[in-house]
Structures are given as C-alpha cells and as structure tokens.
Chains A and B, each alone.
Chain A
Amino acid sequence: MKTIHIAVLVLLIVAVVVSTVIYQQQEQEETKLKVIYAGSLIVPFEELEKQFESRHPGVDVQIEGHGSIQVIRQVTDIHKAVDVLAVADYSLIPDMMYATPSGEDYADWYVKFATNQMVLAYNNQSKYADEITESNWYEILARPDVTFGFSNPMLDSCGYRTLMVTQLAESYYDNQTIFDDLIACNFEPTISGTKEGDTYIVFVPEIFEPHAGKVVVRGGSVQLLALLEYGGLDYAFQYKSVAQQHGLRFVELPDQIDLSSTEYEDDYKKVIVRLGFQRFSAVDTERVGSPIFYAVTIPKNAPQPELAVAFVEFVIGEEGQKILGNLEQPSLVPAEGSGVVPFALEPF
C-alpha cells in the first residue's frame, strides 16, 4: 500500500516536471509580438490580438493599453522593446518619434486607420434622459440638478477634447455662455476661455477643483463609465466608440463641434487648450483642435519588424477593418499613410 502511494507521488512529480519543461519549451518557441495601444482601442485590439494569433500559430501577441502619450513614451523615454504602437492622436507620432531633440529617430512613418467622434454618453437613469437632444444638451447639462463628468484634460485626450467641444459649441449654437456655464463657473481655480483674434484659448491651470456635486473630473474613461453605471453621474463626455462598446445611450453632437470631420478642420483649429504644467518633458503643453484620427506605426528598433508589418497589414486590411467595425470602432477606408511607409503596406 505504502509502495503504491510512493509510486503515485513519483508519477505526479514526473508529470509536473515534464509538463513544466514542455511549457517552457513552447514558450521559448513562441514568437512574441509586443503591441501597445491607446486606451480607447482596448475592445477592438483584444479581438485583433485573438484573430491575428489564430491566423499565425506560434505567435503570441502581447497587448498593453495606455494613454496615447504614454504609449509613445514606452519607446522613446522608457526604452521598452515594442513592435507596434497605435495612438488616438496621429500627430503625436511625428511630434514625439520623428528626429527628436535628443537626436534619436524612433519612427519615420504612420498610417491613419481609424476615426472617432466626441459624444455625450448617458443611460436610462440619467436625469432628463428622454428630453436631451443634439440641440439642447448644453441647457440640460447646465440644469442645477444634473451632474456630468469628463476626463482630466491634463491626463487624457478625451479630457482636453471635451474643452474643445464646449468652446466650439459657443460658435455653433451662437451662445457665448456655454463654456462659462458648463466649465468655467464650475471650477476653482477656474478653467478659463479667452479669445485671441480668431482663436479661442482655453487655459487649464496647474490645479483645478470642480465645485462639489455638479461636475466630476476623473483620470480617464474607465472611472467615468463606472460612475455612470453606479448612478454617480448623469452624463459623461466620451468617445462614441467607447459609449457604444459599453452599451450606453449617447447624444451625437453636430459635426461642426464633435471633432470628427476633416470638412471642419479649419474651425477645430480655432480652439487651443493650454495645459498648466508639462507632464511629459518630451511633449509641450499646447493641444490644437483637429479631427480625431488614430494612427499606427512600427518603431525603428522593433524586435520583430516583419511580423509587425504583418500585424499592421492585418489591422488596416479588410479583416481588421471588419473587426473594428463590428466592435463599433469607425475605421478609415482606405487607410492613409504618411512618411516612409513600408512597401508591404502601400497597397492599403
């Protein structure tokens, strides 16, 4: 009996050792592809990872989400080995990766592959949910019993884009009090807007606290979505894709203010947000209004450059665009390349 127990124990140990060795060998044999993406792409990129792996046995796509600036800093400042990066603001790639002041040159091309637009997200429990429309949203938000939120403009592109939307709304609705009513009067110290010639400058001080109860500012979309879900908030400015992916209702804003359309590019440019401190030494404090375009690139020091091209080809190709579309992420068809785009990607 004792012998049987010992035999079983030995077999178990052997099984564990053998399976560990096999697992380690498999891990070593797998090619890892490191992909870093902007936070608002989390849902489609999880699916892209799965689908790409199923078409490329032996490839382990390792995805990681950050704010767009942090995505690039993983390569330029933190010097991580990254194969593909995707950001929510295409201009960050040339600004931060092309011939940097330190003399480093991390990339020389990008491909715009997706778009987005700003919306006002809410749910059935939100006050005046059945009343709010594209033409009265700013009046509903200003009502004393309504709460709304947006992400911190110092930290998140959706945050400074919210300030652009509310400033652009003044011109579109011909109402010069919208920014003051929704933003300026709800903060101490205030987030102020002033006009310089044709341009509106929104100044975000180094510290700003919303007045209790009316407006909520959080670091990013994740926290605002949780607040909406648990009834801590009536409305939140979000990207349309994020609102749709989380099953929220939303008010579509006019193209003239939702930062979605190249047709109104010149109008968007008239709003500049100046941030009160330089959070990243490599990025300045000025954000100029522009249409929202997501872009992808491959750093020059990518460990798996050929596989990285295959991944980008998959993302911007028919299959990838279909995945993006199915997951409510509007894609740009055809994708638009800029700079020295790899030959394999030129047909797209």
Chain B
Amino acid sequence: MKEDRKTIGFVVIIAVICIGAIAAVMYTHPFGAPEEKINWNLTLIGTAEKVVTFDELKAMPSYEGYGGFFSTVGMINGPFKCKGVPVEDLCALVGGINGSYTLWVSAQDGYMMVFTYDQVKGNFVTYEPVTLKEVPHSPLKVILAYEQDGAPLSENDGRPLRLAIMSEDKLLTEGHYWIKWVDKIAIRAIKNQNKT
C-alpha cells in the first residue's frame, strides 16, 4: 500500500513536469495557426511577359529532389529535400528557352545571376557534401523552390521562392546560384560578347 502511494506520488510529479514542459513548448512555439497567405508575384519575361502569383505557381506541376550548397567560405548548407516548379516549365510560359538565350534571375534584394541554357538544363559542377570533392551526378533539375524539408521556406532561406538545384543524389552546388527571394526571371538573347 505504502509502495503504491510512493509510485502514485512519483507519477504525479512526472505528470506535472511533463505538463509544464508541454505548456512551455506550446507557449514558445505556438501551432495550429492558419497558414499565412503569401502575396508574391513572379514576373516572367520572354517573347511574352507574364506575372504569376505564388498560388498560381504552387498549382503548377512540381518536382521534388535533393540538393544543397556551400558558401564562399565553404560553409555547407543541406542537402535538403526541396519542392518547387522546374525553371524550364516557367520559361515555357513565356515562349521557352534555347541555346541562343540566357536566363537572368533576379531577386527583391537587388541580387541577380545569369544562367546559360546548359545550366538551365542542369549542367553544373556538383560536390560531395563532406569533402567538397567534385563528383559526377545524376540529371539535375533547376527549380524555383517553395518548400524545404516539408515546410514552406523560412525568410532567411529566401521565402517564398528560392532557386535550387536538385537531383536524386544528395550533392552540393555553389551557393551563389541559390538565389533567395526570386521575383523576376527574364530570357534574353545572348549579346555580342566582345564589345567593350
């Protein structure tokens, strides 16, 4: 009987601690809030011009794969599982892209990168995530990602849209291609290269 009381006492203590812990977690990490509506427009410029809302983009056929990147100083991020829309599919909405064109991807913060047609088709150097040794890869897909590891992108990861280079392998690519906060994609004819 005495033994039982002791046991009950300990169980009560554990229960109180658990309830306290759960309450603390719920207080600091509230959940169950409705998903925030994302007001974001992506401008596509090709032979035509089109503005795609975030919801319209999310309704397009998606691709899911793995990939990560490393920074200038070799800091490794990922690999992550990302979901998004293939950039080639977005190009197709405004006339498509071929070898006579380059892809100019720009972001709300004033950052911009130019991609060759080969890169749009997935021609990048890939790196092994621990040693950063260059390694071969299965076909790569360039996507405009809106999900990372099953959750919407965080602000720091480029919410709501970030360029990502994906494949079935868990490999890395150079970080400067992973443009955050993408708001414009333009397909431009290659200029005469030798002008000064």
B132 touches A223 (CB 8 A): yes
Given A39-B72, A226-B131, does the pair A192, B194 have CB atoms closer than 8 Å?
Answer: yes
B110 touches A207 (CB 8 A): no
**Chain A residue at minimal CB-CB distance from B14:** A10
Cα separation A13 to B175 with both chains bound (whole Å): 41
B134 touches A278 (CB 8 A): no
B116 touches A207 (CB 8 A): yes
A206 touches B10 (CB 8 A): no
Verify if B195 is at the interface (C-beta below 8 Å from A).
yes
A282 touches B110 (CB 8 A): yes
B112 touches A281 (CB 8 A): yes
Given A39-B73, A192-B194, A222-B72, does the pair A3, B10 have CB atoms closer than 8 Å?
Answer: yes
Q: A204-236, CB under 8 A of B: which get 1 and which 0?
A: 011111000000001110110011001010000
B134 touches A227 (CB 8 A): yes
Given A17-B17, A190-B194, A218-B125, does the pair A226, B72 have CB atoms closer than 8 Å?
Answer: no
- Choose among A3, A203, A218 the residue that contacts B174 (Cβ–Cβ < 8 A): A218
A17 touches B21 (CB 8 A): yes
B6 touches A223 (CB 8 A): no
* Residues 140 to 154 of chain B near chain A (Cβ within 8 Å): none
Q: How far is the CB of A344 from chain B (nearest CB, A)?
A: 29
A156 touches B132 (CB 8 A): no
Residues of A within 8 A of B110 (CB): 73, 77, 280-282
Residues of A within 8 A of B116 (CB): 207, 209
Q: How far is the CB of B103 from chain A (nearest CB, A)?
A: 10
A77 touches B109 (CB 8 A): yes
Tally of contact residues, A, Cβ under 8 A: 49
Residues of B within 8 A of A7 (CB): 10
Cα separation A2 to B111 with both chains bound (whole Å): 63
Residues of A within 8 A of B134 (CB): 223, 226-227, 230, 232
Verify if A6 is at the interface (C-beta below 8 Å from B).
yes
Residues of B within 8 A of A17 (CB): 17, 21
- Choose among A6, A70, A190, A209 the residue that contacts B10 (Cβ–Cβ < 8 A): A6
- Choose among A13, A194, A206, A222 the residue that contacts B102 (Cβ–Cβ < 8 A): A206
Q: How far is the CB of B79 from chain A (nearest CB, A)?
A: 17
Verify if A155 is at the interface (C-beta below 8 Å from B).
yes
Tally of contact residues, B, Cβ under 8 A: 39
Q: How far is the CB of B163 from chain A (nearest CB, A)?
A: 14
**Chain A residue at minimal CB-CB distance from B11:** A6
* Residues 168 to 200 of chain A near chain B (Cβ within 8 Å): 189-190, 192, 194, 196
**Chain B residue at minimal CB-CB distance from A156:** B72
Residues of B within 8 A of A3 (CB): 3, 6-7, 10
Residues of B within 8 A of A209 (CB): 116
A278 touches B132 (CB 8 A): no
Verify if A348 is at the interface (C-beta below 8 Å from B).
no
Q: How far is the CB of A38 from chain B (nearest CB, A)?
A: 9
A277 touches B194 (CB 8 A): no
A219 touches B174 (CB 8 A): yes
Q: How far is the CB of B10 from chain A (nearest CB, A)?
A: 4
B196 touches A203 (CB 8 A): yes
Residues of A within 8 A of B72 (CB): 39, 65-67, 70, 156, 219-220, 222
Verify if B127 is at the interface (C-beta below 8 Å from A).
yes
Verify if B176 is at the interface (C-beta below 8 Å from A).
yes
Verify if B66 is at the interface (C-beta below 8 Å from A).
no
**Chain B residue at minimal CB-CB distance from A45:** B73
Question: 8 A-B Cβ contacts within 8 A?
Answer: A10-B14, A65-B73, A66-B72, A77-B110, A218-B125, A222-B74, A230-B134, A280-B110
The 10 closest A-B pairs by CB, nearest first: A281-B110, A65-B73, A189-B193, A205-B193, A219-B174, A39-B72, A222-B74, A6-B10, A39-B73, A203-B196
Q: A190-B194, A274-B196, A278-B112 are in contact. List 7 more A-B contacts (CB 8 A).
A: A6-B14, A14-B17, A194-B196, A203-B196, A206-B114, A220-B174, A277-B112
B residues within 8 Å of A by Cβ? 3, 6-7, 10-11, 13-14, 17, 21, 70-75, 102, 104, 109-114, 116, 125, 127, 131-134, 174-176, 190-191, 193-196
